Amino acid sequence: MTGSRLYLRPTAFVDAPFGHDGKVLRLAGGLCFFSAVEVIEVEAGRRIAQTLVAVEALDAFLGGLPGALAEQGRAFLARLIAPRAPLQLGARTIRLDQPQVMAILNMTPDSFSDGGRNADPASAALSATRMLEAGAALIDVGGESTRPGAAAVWEQDEIARVVPVIQLLAGAGAAISIDTRKAAVMAAALDAGAGLINDVSGLTYDKEAEALVAARGAPVVIMHHRGDPATMQQDPHYGDALIEVYDWLEDRVASAVAAGIDRTRIMVDPGVGFGKTLRHNLAVMNGLSLFHGLGCAILLGASRKRFIGALSNEAPAQERLGGSVAVVLTGAAQGVQMVRVHDAYETVQALRVWRGLRDEALSPV
């Protein structure tokens, strides 16, 4: 077991903890409760053991492991169950003890699903207002497409696309995130009223990004990717996609914390569709609950992604609503704190039904 690592993936979810004292744990302070964990031992990048352990037997199981592995397991478990602090975006507070909706507003001519739809700041702000009225918690404004094959955009062009609409939305009191890889765009967006940075490169594209985020004290989303948008879907390979994505995010979170970014302000995104094949995406989706072990809130951005079309007779992006909602509910059932979506109204409705079922289950008889 020398050099091996332990991972705990919550599973065997139950509707409510009542009558299950000592047999279930609450996941990340949210609305999901799990009664077992899949204990995964990895050595040299390979899974060498997988054991399904009931929560009531977990302490004894960990106690029977060698000291270093037992310590890893207990630390991992502590991160799984620790509540996530709410996001503070200026005067707006977004609770993370329940699933929240981040609505997409692309100010781009070439995004894969809605490129060119928002031709000017006023019409874009109107679209955003409708998504907020539907129940979205915040608007994610982007000025550069990161679809597979997309070319980079000059930062000043990106700023010109996003700042006017951010100013309009901020003036109306909306919570806003900026979807960008560039420090200059991050700074301009924050100055215009954005409160959250959503970086698909995980703060790796621009060497100034980590320092800027730390200095400004803004919450940030660190997303996993492999390659850049122009090349990321050219035959990506993983030995174990779920574990490798976890390890990459763990390293990036550690780098961000070392740069002075408070861990409570970091969200992680496993990067569905970014440098991953269909099988890789499905492995990540099935194992989403593992990422709670990073001790950060999870953002899931899989709306209208290509893998949904691949599973539904190659349906085009505009015809992937049903699959997108299915993905959102899969995330909610594994405790994901935020989902990034194109279809705010339908997503909010689906999550309200999910929440209603959860509330009923959590109401003692």
Mean pLDDT of the chain: 94
Kindly report, residue by residue over 56-70, the tens digit of the pLDDT.
999 999 999 999 999
Q: Is 340 a catalytic residue?
A: yes
Residue 24 phi, psi (nearest 5): -135, 160
Q: Which of 305, 306, 320, 358 is catalytic?
A: 305
Euclidean distance between CA atoms 147 and 84, whole angstroms: 30
Structure tokens at 170: 């901020």
Q: Is 263 a catalytic residue?
A: no
Q: How large is the C-alpha radius of gyration of the chain?
A: 20
Kindly report, residue by residue over 182-231, the tens digit of the pLDDT.
999 999 999 999 999 999 999 999 999 999 999 999 999 999 998 777 66
Q: Are residues 139 and 258 in the same domain?
A: yes
User: What is the DSSP code string of 296-349?
Assistant: SEEEE--TT-HHHHHTTTT--GGG-HHHHHHHHHHHHHTT--EEEES-HHHHHH
Average pLDDT of span 304-312:
95
Pairing of strands 196-199, 138-142: unpaired
Q: Are residues 41 and 153 in the same domain?
A: no
User: How distant, in Å, are the alpha carbons of 143, 189, 195 from that of 110?
Assistant: 10, 21, 25
Parent domain of 64: 5-81
Euclidean distance between CA atoms 46 and 37, whole angstroms: 19
User: Where is the domain boundary, 36, 62, 81?
Assistant: 81
Euclidean distance between CA atoms 296 and 43, whole angstroms: 24
Q: Are residues 66 and 104 in the same domain?
A: no
Q: Which of 147, 320, 340, 358 is catalytic?
A: 340
Residue 2 phi, psi (nearest 5): -60, 130
Q: Are residues 11 and 98 in the same domain?
A: no
User: Considering its fold, how many domains does the chain have in total?
Assistant: 2
CATH number for the domain harbouring residue 318 = 3.20.20.20
pLDDT of residue 109: 77
Q: What is the pTM of this model?
A: 0.94
Q: Which residues pair with 199 in a beta bridge?
A: 222
Q: Are residues 130 and 76 in the same domain?
A: no
pLDDT of residue 114: 53
Q: Are residues 73 and 175 in the same domain?
A: no
Give the Cα-Cα-Cα angle 98, 254, 83 (nearest 5 degrees).
25
Rounded to the nearest 10 degrees, what angle do helices 55-63 and 67-81 cross at? 150
Residue 295 phi, psi (nearest 5): 80, 15
